[in-house]
Chain A
Amino acid sequence: MDHSLLMAILLLSPLVGFLINGIRYKNPTANLSGGIATAAVAISFISSLILVADLIGMPAEARKIHVSFFQWMAVDSFKINAAFYIDQISAIMILVITGVGSLIHLFSIGYMHHDKGVTKYFAYLNLFVFNMLILVLGDSLLTMFVGWEGVGLCSYLLIGFWFSDKEKAAAGMKAFITNRVGDAAFLLGMFVLFATFGTLNIQEMNALAPTTAEASWLGAITLGTLFLFIGATGKSAQIPLYVWLPDAMAGPTPVSALIHAATMVTAGVYMIVRLNPLFIVAPNTMMVIAIIGALTAVFAASIGITQWDIKKVLAYSTVSQLGYMFLAVGVGAFGAGMFHLMTHAFFKALMFLGSGSVIHAMHEEQDIRKMGGLKKYMPITHMTFFFGWVAIIGIPPFAGFFSKDEILWMSFHSPLGSPALWVLGAIGAAMTAFYMTRLMCLTFWGKSRVPKSVHPHESPTLMTIPLIVLGILSVVGGWVGIPEVIGHSLGDIPNLLEHWLHPVIKPIPNLTEAEHSMEWMLMGVSVSLATISAFIAYHFYVKSPETPEKIANSIKPLYNLISKKYLVDELYFGTIINPLINGSKRLWMFIDVNFIDKITYVISDLVRGGGGVVRALQTGNLQQYAMLIGIGIVIALSIIIMR
């Protein structure tokens, strides 16, 4: 079929879904509106499949489908078309978005069944998918930015979906404003790049990118890419701007699965991979990305250990895994980054949906201290969650192992990386294993702490099908991109993903040949670390539940600090938001009320005073007036004479 028609269907079917549900937003039937929404996303999934099939058909170098609908903006030399194009990278992304998206839509039908605003919910979800597709397929940075903010808007709507509750509304607002800070940086990045390249079209910019690395920090490309990265931290919740993601759990769980695990948060990584020719030439930015990625991974993992809300643990795990992706991209392993992005989408979406079905079963109970031993009540959810767990901590045959190991290896091996980064990564991996196992033990294994009033039951089939599909994917997903060192040893299974992305990804400059022994050795170290911390966690939380209490009390201050999320929120409020608000009160009072208005009052009093003087002159006494005339004449004459 003709590409532009397909592209139109791909993009517009979620929009049509949004419009249909939007108009009938009052109607409470979940199945009907859910059906429409899922159908819309499924249609775009099918059309993306066809498009990707066409793409595969094309010769390796020229794999590109470009469709331009209309000229959006044209001011002098700045021309932007509403144009979209699919290449190898965006092919993966649209498959992930529409695929995982439709699964999550299916799941939400069951999950949001008894909510009266369900049609509105599905409308927002479809709008989100529409915006995400624009972000991914955007031909120029500006079209991407349209999707970028559109996605932020939808996450605002969905997080604050149950707006009657003040905290949930506040979480939505917080998400939007933090994203907006990132978007402001994104804007600055666009301006710098437009100033240097004269265009914002991604293809043209990649072509124009210089080949020699740019040394100085204030070089045009470094500055531009740095701003883009700050924008990415806003969207993909890295160190400075990650605060909104944990609060975003206030939204319904499928939303967290779709937006805050699979698609939106990965936008930052995707943007960097898409502009990899630019980033590869800015070593300073790459260094910054790598460091922040690694730090976030460890930092978020440490908080994840101390959280008691099931969704908060998963949220911090997402932030940590995103840290890994940025670490991969930061050291130039764009392929590994994309690979981890894909696998993470599968198992994290799986676990969020799993936690969704747990919460659904436990009647909105999210605190894992009141769960435990749900294995026997929810076998399917437990089994699928088990697969997710195994994938994320990086046990060999599963997806997580291949992608995470690739990242750890490249962070050690790549010239842009360094052993320190590998160490951070390894520690992060160990912590991930610990808190994920802790989560598994506290929710599924161990003795049941479920309160009497609640008796959990398996979620309906409508919700378990997506779980099963995602479970399979998170197992199988890893084999797509098996690192060649393992591939060779297991009878040269080709690294399909690497091979697929190769023409579009710039190779890392002066990358030395990897000796396999070192790679095996590092792989062994990281896997063993992960398994050991998993056993410790199993021991803590299943064998002797009271030991974690003892340890926690022994390092009381540190434990409290971490469990209160290093007081980062309070820090932001204290240093930025509150002073801003009080400062602007004083500012308004000082400038508007006391300064400018005061001047107007002073002038009007001056004028009134002048009037008083003139009035005093008019004493009414005749002779006073004659005196005035006399004096007037004398003064006038003296001046006339003198000059």
Chain B
Amino acid sequence: MKIDIGLADLIRISPMIAIFLASLIPLTSKLFNSNKEPSNLITLIQGLGGLIIGLVLLTVVGGSGETAFNKALIFDSLTLWMGIIAIVSAGAALIMMYENFSTNGNQFSELVFLALNSVVGMLILVSALDLLTVFIGLELMSLSLYLMIGMSHEEKLSKEAAFKYFVLGSFASAIFLYGTSFIYGTTGSTNLVTFMQEAVGLVQTNRLFLFGISFVILGFCFKVSIAPFHAWTPDVYQGAPTPHTAFMATAVKVVSFAALLRVIATKALVGSDGLFVVLQWLAVITMLVGNLGAIVQVNLKRMLAYSSIAHSGYILVGVITAGISDKGFFGASSVIFYLFSYCVMTIGTFAIVSILEKSEDHLVTLDSLKGLASKKPLHAFCFSLFLISLAGLPPALGFFGKFYLFNAAVGEGLIWLAVWGVINSVISVYYYLKPMVLMYMTEGEAEIAGHSLNATTVTVLASAVFIAILGVLSGPIFTAVEKSFIN
């Protein structure tokens, strides 16, 4: 077989190259002026610049539908949309890192380097069509993330979180690899395109292939914190510095779901009824665990971790719908839209949390929210807007995300999943209302961290505006996402 890697392929992966080069700039500039940390602002600007260039290139090159590197990477609309969401979330996380206590210390340039590399890994993961490329992207993203968490100024918890994330992450990727080897064994190649067509038949006949696919999917389930494999999420989200938690909860989750979507697109679910049932039960348990866990929490970050687990459950419903729907890309586009709305909300929420942190080892408990409304009415209002949107109440973007998701589920006949999802969002309303109660309805002296945090506040405002406005205008966006699939 002739492998031709020409200029066209390089152009297609230009966003990744651009971001990678941009990640080197802060390090080399530190190198040249004798390891003296350049001002954080400049590093931040360099990092953001790299991301913006990558974003521009991605919009130019993505969505064209071609493959690169002998079908190892594909740049279809899934890559485009997920890439955009990932980069934007990463940008927001970078801004938060610039102002958060535990991350804006003297190693900020290394931090930006690792973050940008993690974004490169994400882009690879999103566009990967070959299981091996998926593995590479996954590992690049995760490894840089482990180090980022480890580097936090806060001594105790972040180190423990980093190690936990590392061990369990590599444990899961080993399982993923094991599955890939089985797939390779049965079909002779790890490229999704090759076994895309006969996957349905293979899954029923060949026991080994079924094992392979299952291991791959379960490996992904770890990454997006689905129920039995979610145990790491609360600890890591709480331990890691808030910007990194935001980074993980949004960008990492989005791209992992994208890769899962690609694997699911092989219609394995249609073939094996067992897999379909297991995934449904996983979705149900995830929602339950996420929502129930969040109710009893006292620490705000830990509560938001559980809430993100619950949201993974909702998204898994969308993924299942995408998996079994033969006509149209309604399921997949609803997942994308939901991820988009989820990211916007979560970025805003974690930005608020990072604002509330007065020092690097200050654990933001729910009580520290008391009376925030009287002190900081704007922040309190934005935070309530995020909570309303996370709970899925109508005027906000979150409702429309959930609406499309459950609409797709009902379309495919998964009515009981939709009902279960809807009941869970009622349970979730209880703990989403708790902070609002504390902010508005109880007196207290909640105080924002001393020095001015205008950059993070800008992020908060941006996401609040997005939630309020895009909620109503979600129609055109959704059709755009869906149309991009069809051509």
A/B touching: CB–CB < 8 A:
yes
* Closest A residue by C-beta to B431: A611
* Closest A residue by C-beta to B214: A640
A607 touches B292 (CB 8 A): yes
When distances are taken between beta carbons in the complex, the residues of chain B under 8 Å from A624 are 231
Residues of B229-267 whose CB lies within 8 A of A? 229, 231-232, 234-235
Q: Count CB-based A-B contacts (< 8 Å).
A: 86
* Closest A residue by C-beta to B166: A622
Q: Which of A64-72, A322-330, A535-543, A627-635 contacts B (4 or more CB under 8 A)?
A: A627-635
When distances are taken between beta carbons in the complex, the residues of chain B under 8 Å from A608 are 295-296
B277 touches A643 (CB 8 A): yes
Looking at the assembled complex, report how far the CB atom of B265 sits from the nearest CB atom of chain A, in whole angstroms: 19
Q: Hey, what's the 0/1 contact readout for B201-218 against A, CB within 8 Å counting as 1?
A: 000000100110011001
A620 interfacial by beta-carbon distance below 8 Å: yes
B405 interfacial by beta-carbon distance below 8 Å: no
A629 touches B172 (CB 8 A): yes
A511 interfacial by beta-carbon distance below 8 Å: no
Q: A614-B289, A624-B231, A632-B228 are in contact. Are A639 and B164 (CB under 8 A)?
A: no
When distances are taken between beta carbons in the complex, the residues of chain A under 8 Å from B292 are 607, 610-611, 613-614
* Closest B residue by C-beta to A627: B231
A452 interfacial by beta-carbon distance below 8 Å: no
Q: Hey, what's the 0/1 contact readout for B167-203 against A, CB within 8 Å counting as 1?
A: 1100110010000000000000000000000000000
B282 interfacial by beta-carbon distance below 8 Å: yes
Residues of A598-643 whose CB lies within 8 A of B? 604, 607-608, 610-615, 617-618, 620, 622, 624-626, 628-629, 631-633, 635-637, 639-643
B66 interfacial by beta-carbon distance below 8 Å: no
B293 interfacial by beta-carbon distance below 8 Å: yes
B328 interfacial by beta-carbon distance below 8 Å: no
- For A617, give its contact among B171, B211, B231 (CB under 8 Å): B231
When distances are taken between beta carbons in the complex, the residues of chain B under 8 Å from A631 are 228
A631 to B281, CA, bound (A): 15
When distances are taken between beta carbons in the complex, the residues of chain B under 8 Å from A617 are 231
A615 to B289, CA, bound (A): 9
Which secondary structure characterizes the binding site on chain B? Answer: helix
Q: Which of B9-17, B18-26, B268-276, B469-477 contacts A (4 or more CB under 8 A)?
A: B268-276
Looking at the assembled complex, report how far the CB atom of A339 sits from the nearest CB atom of chain B, in whole angstroms: 73
Q: What is the total number of residues of chain A having a CB less than 8 Å from a CB of chain B?
A: 29
B293 touches A636 (CB 8 A): no
When distances are taken between beta carbons in the complex, the residues of chain A under 8 Å from B229 are 628-629, 632
When distances are taken between beta carbons in the complex, the residues of chain A under 8 Å from B274 are 639-643
Looking at the assembled complex, report how far the CB atom of B229 sits from the nearest CB atom of chain A, in whole angstroms: 5
Looking at the assembled complex, report how far the CB atom of A184 sits from the nearest CB atom of chain B, in whole angstroms: 42
A380 to B235, CA, bound (A): 103
* Closest A residue by C-beta to B211: A637
A168 to B264, CA, bound (A): 82
When distances are taken between beta carbons in the complex, the residues of chain A under 8 Å from B278 are 636, 639-640
When distances are taken between beta carbons in the complex, the residues of chain A under 8 Å from B57 are none
B222 interfacial by beta-carbon distance below 8 Å: yes
- For A633, give its contact among B163, B218, B295, B430 (CB under 8 Å): B218
B53 interfacial by beta-carbon distance below 8 Å: no
A612 touches B163 (CB 8 A): no
B175 touches A620 (CB 8 A): no
A345 to B294, CA, bound (A): 79
A625 touches B214 (CB 8 A): no
Looking at the assembled complex, report how far the CB atom of A463 sits from the nearest CB atom of chain B, in whole angstroms: 66
When distances are taken between beta carbons in the complex, the residues of chain A under 8 Å from B235 are 618, 620
When distances are taken between beta carbons in the complex, the residues of chain B under 8 Å from A635 are 228
- For B210, give its contact among A607, A614, A640 (CB under 8 Å): A640
When distances are taken between beta carbons in the complex, the residues of chain B under 8 Å from A625 are 164, 168, 231-232
When distances are taken between beta carbons in the complex, the residues of chain A under 8 Å from B168 are 622, 625-626, 629
A611 touches B164 (CB 8 A): no
- For A622, give its contact among B164, B207, B218 (CB under 8 Å): B164
* Closest A residue by C-beta to B281: A639
Residue in A617, A622, A629, A631 with the greatest tally of chain B CB atoms within 10 Å: A629
- For B272, give its contact among A614, A633, A640 (CB under 8 Å): A640
B228 touches A629 (CB 8 A): yes
Q: List 8 A-B contacts (CB under 8 A).
A: A607-B292, A608-B295, A613-B292, A614-B306, A625-B168, A629-B171, A631-B228, A640-B272
Instruction: List residues of chain A with CB under 8 Å of any chain B CB.
Output: 604, 607-608, 610-615, 617-618, 620, 622, 624-626, 628-629, 631-633, 635-637, 639-643
